[in-house]
Amino acid sequence: MANYFLLPLLTVLLMLLPMGASGATEKPMTVVRVGVLEFGTVNWELELMRKSELAKKRGVDLKIVPLASADASTMALQGNAVDVIVSDWIWVSRQRAEGNFYAFAPYSNAVGSVMVRADSGIRQVADLKDKKLGIAGGPSDKTWLLLRAYAQRTLGVDLTKFAQPTYAAPPLLNELALRSQVDAVLNHWNYAAQLEVHGMHSLIDVPQMLKGLGIEKPIPLIGWVFREDWAAANSAALKEFLGASYEAKAMLASSDAPWEVIRPKMRAENEAVFKALRSGFRAGIPVCSDPTLAAVAATFKVLADTGGERLVGKSKTLAPGTFWSGFSLAPCKEF
């Protein structure tokens, strides 16, 4: 079901976003190289931006660079092979604390969740005791760390010992879940959507985890990440690129028609999966509200306390400047 409640906010955003004049394409185009995972969901939005010429109309020559992994993305950015990638503010904050100045602009609030079968007998997190719990992303995955912090806060247990965690790639985890070889699975939102189509349901998601940790506001977990010096030298082009990104989100939130444009990129196995993915993407469109940045800082502290230096580096607090100040909009002042 479309998130029509987002339309007033997105409409205001689009009115405030920088937009090239009708003759923008007559000016020299600025190349923006965007590094993305070859089959990542970010490609859906970029495909709409490309096919609808949302970036081109704003004077941005969008160059999409396929990459093999999240590590390859950060390496490409660090090596100046791309200008923009999708990553999280944890990585940005850690880099800034080490003197490497990158910045973050929100892309999505989309989150993972713990999925269970209806006949699993698992009705709450406490029921995960001694159960096989499949986890995407490895021991330092931020969603897993938030789940661990939630269990520690609400149950007083260490999930690494309370349950039987096992780590695997997202597609494999789904296969294990469907074959009942794990009792529950913590997977990314798009894989969780596929499991929902197969009759599984969410036991707990990140917003519920955050509420259990005293964090009431929704937060953007992933975003566009870029070098601060590049952003300063290409501020106008970056703002136009981000403007095109928000415009694409507004189109995807308000109408089903653009989804047909990007449907081939989604690789949905059937209509039910397609609709579940569409719904999940829409649910992840950031809704700006005060004090989002305070909620991010509080979440960072939880992750630092749980994941330690291995995750966040030596900094115990969100590094100043992590969120790029060059894209300031009311009602999204923090962004």
Residue 319: the pLDDT is 93
Q: Are 251 and 48 in contact (CB under 8 A)?
A: yes
Residue 3 has pLDDT above 60, yes or no: no
Count of helix runs (H) and strand runs (E) in the chain? 15, 10
Q: Are 49 and 62 in contact (CB under 8 A)?
A: yes
* Identical fold, 4-109+220-312 and 113-212: yes
Confidence label for 327 from pLDDT (cuts 50, 70 and 90): low
* Per-residue model confidence as pLDDT tens digits over 261-305: 999 999 999 999 999 999 999 999 987 555 578 889 899 999 888
Tell me the average pLDDT across 227-232: 97
Residue 80 has pLDDT above 50, yes or no: yes
Q: Average per-residue pLDDT in the chain?
A: 88
Residue 17: the pLDDT is 54
Which regions of 57-187 does DSSP assign to beta strands (E)? Answer: 60-67, 84-88, 102-108, 113-116, 132-136, 164-168, 184-187
Q: CB within 8 A of 14, min separation 6: which ones?
A: 243, 246, 247, 250
Q: Are 331 and 9 in contact (CB under 8 A)?
A: yes
Look up tokens 């660079």; give the residue: 65
Instruction: For residues 46 and 22, give the distance between their C-alpha atoms in angstroms, rounded to a whole number.
Output: 22
In this structure, the number of other CB atoms found within 10 A of the CB of residue 242 comes to 26
Confidence label for 25 from pLDDT (cuts 50, 70 and 90): very low
Confidence label for 48 from pLDDT (cuts 50, 70 and 90): very high
Lowest mean pLDDT among 27-31, 224-228, 300-304: 27-31
* 125 DSSP 8-state letter: G
Residue 185 has pLDDT above 90, yes or no: yes
Residue 140: the pLDDT is 85
Residue 18: the pLDDT is 53
The 3-state secondary structure of 297-313 reads HHHHHHHHHHHCHHHHC
Q: Are 218 and 287 in contact (CB under 8 A)?
A: yes
Lowest mean pLDDT among 66-70, 169-173, 188-192, 330-334: 330-334
Residue 312: the pLDDT is 78
Residue 26: the pLDDT is 59
Residue 289: the pLDDT is 52
* Per-residue model confidence as pLDDT tens digits over 98-140: 999 999 999 998 889 999 999 999 999 999 999 999 999 889 8
Both tokens of 37, joined, read 């995972």
Residue 16: the pLDDT is 47
- Return the percent helix, strand and coil in the chain, to nearest 5: 50, 20, 35
Map out the domains of the chain as residue ranges. Answer: 4-109+220-312, 113-212
Give the C-alpha distances (Å, rounded to integers) separating 177 from 118, 170, 181.
12, 11, 6
Residue 207 has pLDDT above 80, yes or no: yes
Residue 162 has pLDDT above 70, yes or no: yes
Residue 46: the pLDDT is 97
Closest CA to 329 of 4, 13, 37: 13
Give the C-alpha distances (Å, rounded to integers) separating 85 from 206, 243, 266, 332.
23, 16, 19, 21
- What pTM, to 2 d.p., does this model score? 0.85
* CATH code that applies to domain 113-212: 3.40.190.10
Please state, for a pLDDT cut of 70, what percent of the chain lies above it. Answer: 88
Q: Are 111 and 284 in contact (CB under 8 A)?
A: yes
Look up tokens 């081109």; give the residue: 56
* 107 DSSP 8-state letter: E
Closest CA to 239 of 324, 321, 327, 334: 327
Helix (H/G/I), strand (E/B), else coil: 98:
coil
Q: Are 241 and 84 in contact (CB under 8 A)?
A: yes
* CATH code that applies to domain 4-109+220-312: 3.40.190.10
Residue 335 has pLDDT above 70, yes or no: no
